[in-house]
Structure 1
Amino acid sequence: MIFSKSPDYFQVAQGVWGARILFVNVYFIANRRGFPKGWVLVDAGIQGSAQRIISVAESIFGTGAKPSAIILTHAHSDHTGALEELLKHWDVPVYAHEYEVPYLTGKSSYPPSDPTVGEGMMSLMSVFFRKEPIDISNNIRIIDTEGGIPELPEWRVIHTPGHTPGHVSFFLSLNTTLIAGDAFVATKQESAIYTISNIKKLSGPPRYMTTDWVAAEASVKVLSLLEPRIAGTGHGPVLRGRELQESLRNLAENFVELAVPKGGRYAEKPAEADETGTYYIPPFRSTTKFKAVAGLLGALAGFAITKALVK
């Protein structure tokens, strides 16, 4: 396993902690006194990070700590990469929206990423991200967006599609804490420099993996109206206070200009999906600029491989 060194984590709010694993965040939420005892894990990081997640959990909750459930904002590979390994250690329910279930039961692949959106190296690298489903059918539970999650009774579940069809966010009205997943993020996720350095910049959902921009805009508007004072997102540092509220309001009011790519596979027509999985994907249209950049990237990769073989 990678990421097995001593764990480090950060406080998000009372009873809420986060851990950054390479370029993605996972969260640990404990129920308050007076509610069912226990805690849940939100999202499951990248492949190879299971031991790191377990170590952080034990640092927070004690040796042998086990969540009462794992809940997923969505099922992209950077949020479910360690899920199968974690379930070997913790055999617990995994909650996801019904529109995410096909990607967690082996029934459907996600639409391909869109490397043509530009804005940085992460967009180009997205072609290598896993889009095939995993199969954890025995552990899956469908989230009741009206009734919430029994293992996390105080938190409201909000369907926030756009980045994926079944993306959800979680909101605690008591202290207006929001776990937003990738409905919006706290860095410029398309840029490797921003991502690796964890530079703070409230942004729309990662462009290269967002397949419905109309739905994504509507979701950001819904979250902005909550006026959260604390937000933990799938990527980037924690956002707080007036800075968060003003930046989120600005994103909601100017979403097309700030978040939607000027071109790309999904900019004009979305992929379509339902509870059975993806059933329509717009055709890919390459551009001269993308071909040039992709060619350069391929040449650099070829040079690196050749150099390694020579050694």
Structure 2
Amino acid sequence: MITNNKVNYYQVTQGVWGLKTLFSNVYMIANRKGVADGWVLVDTGVRGYSRQIIKAAEALFGAGTRPEAIILTHGHFDHTGNLIELLKHWDVPVYAHPMELPYLTGKSSYPPADPVVGGGLMAWMAWAYPTSPIDLGEKVQALDVSGDIPELPEWKTVHTPGHTPGHVSLFFKLNATLIAGDALVTTKPESAFYALSFAQTLSGPPKYLTTDWAAAAQSVRKLYELEPRTVATGHGYPMRGRELQAALKKLADNFEDIAIPMSGRYVRVPAMADENGVEYVPPIAPSVKFKAAAFAIATVAVGFFAVREVQKRFL
């Protein structure tokens, strides 16, 4: 961890830095080719961290700096939380996969979260996580489906759906650095202890907001085939080397046993979406409705205080 001007950020690999925003990450990538001294921001984290993101950027790239663009791995609340505030400060384009645009242009909400999967406080509180769209209007543009990024010519985007329809990861082939978003993560995002402390273990996508498990499995196997040597994810600190290779192989080979819940709203039937947004959301099984209601009541009572206690102890 590097402390500079009272801002904590960490180096992922040469030219790539991460910044933790409560329980999710943002990344800053220096452009080594094309735009002189340029850089790109990947995701914007949990709301309330816009000042820290700007300070970290200025510590790395100089006073008054701004990114060439903001790239979103997807549009969930914990990845777009500071986007509106940052766009007031930086007049820059925002890019997302075409299948993600409905959730960023006010056209469609995401499917509801599933709080009964995952077995941890962060999962139980998922009923309260916002799934409504934001409306960036013409500010957001579609990423090239070929994977090319004009502002980062040495990097490629990889479509990795499952967690969301238009989820993307970013890959730098030269040193095999992968920014995986939430296609896979390096902690247990369902657990408050893991999610807030970033205790490390390689996991599948966050269970409570993943709505197509067959696609999620294919995406993890696609990323495994890239043979990354460093993986930075939406939740957790980066993993590298032999530890990463062994854990990623295990996850890819055993995804159905390791990552997919035994039961849940989207386990047997996925939510369906097209370029206009959500088309179909499977109903909640009657046996699950009572369980979901119980989780909601319990988390209203204890969730706020439990999260604050974890923050005090581990952040």
State the TM-score bracket (shorter-chain normalisation).
over 0.9
Q: Is the 8 A contact 1:231 1:240 kept in 2?
A: yes
Partner of 1:69: 69
Structure 2 residue 132 is matched with structure 1 residue 114: no
Q: What is the letter of the counterpart of residue 81 of structure 1?
A: G
Partner of 1:81: 81
Partner of 2:144: 144
**3-state SS of 1:99 partner:** helix
* Separation in structure 2 between the aligned mates of residue 175 and residue 72 of structure 1, nearest angstrom: 22
Alignment of 1:183-198 (within 5 A): 183-198=183-198
Q: Is the 8 A contact 1:187 1:200 kept in 2?
A: yes
* Separation in structure 1 between the aligned mates of residue 86 and residue 58 of structure 2, nearest angstrom: 13
Q: What is the letter of the counterpart of residue 71 of structure 1?
A: I
* Separation in structure 1 between the aligned mates of residue 190 and residue 304 of structure 2, nearest angstrom: 23
* Separation in structure 2 between the aligned mates of residue 290 and residue 44 of structure 1, nearest angstrom: 30
Partner of 2:35: 36
Q: TM-score, normalised by structure 1?
A: 0.92
Q: What is the letter of the counterpart of residue 57 of structure 1?
A: A
Q: What is the letter of the counterpart of residue 151 of structure 1?
A: E
* Separation in structure 1 between the aligned mates of residue 179 and residue 275 of structure 2, nearest angstrom: 23
Q: What is the letter of the counterpart of residue 139 of structure 1?
A: K
Q: Is the 8 A contact 1:200 1:236 kept in 2?
A: yes
Partner of 2:215: 215
Partner of 1:125: 125
Partner of 1:307: none
Displacement of 1:23 in angstroms is 0.5
Q: Is the 8 A contact 1:116 1:287 kept in 2?
A: no
Q: For structure 1, which runs of at least 5 residues remain unmatched after alignment?
A: 305-311
* Separation in structure 2 between the aligned mates of residue 147 and residue 181 of structure 1, nearest angstrom: 15
**3-state SS of 1:174 partner:** coil
Displacement of 1:198 in angstroms is 1.0
* Separation in structure 1 between the aligned mates of residue 113 and residue 280 of structure 2, nearest angstrom: 14
Displacement of 1:262 in angstroms is 0.6
Q: TM-score, normalised by structure 2?
A: 0.91
Partner of 1:200: 200
Q: 1:287 to 1:103 in 2, by over 3 A?
A: closer
Displacement of 1:296 in angstroms is 3.3
Partner of 2:176: 176
Displacement of 1:303 in angstroms is 10
Q: 1:147 to 1:115 in 2, by over 3 A?
A: closer
Displacement of 1:89 in angstroms is 0.5
Displacement of 1:300 in angstroms is 3.9
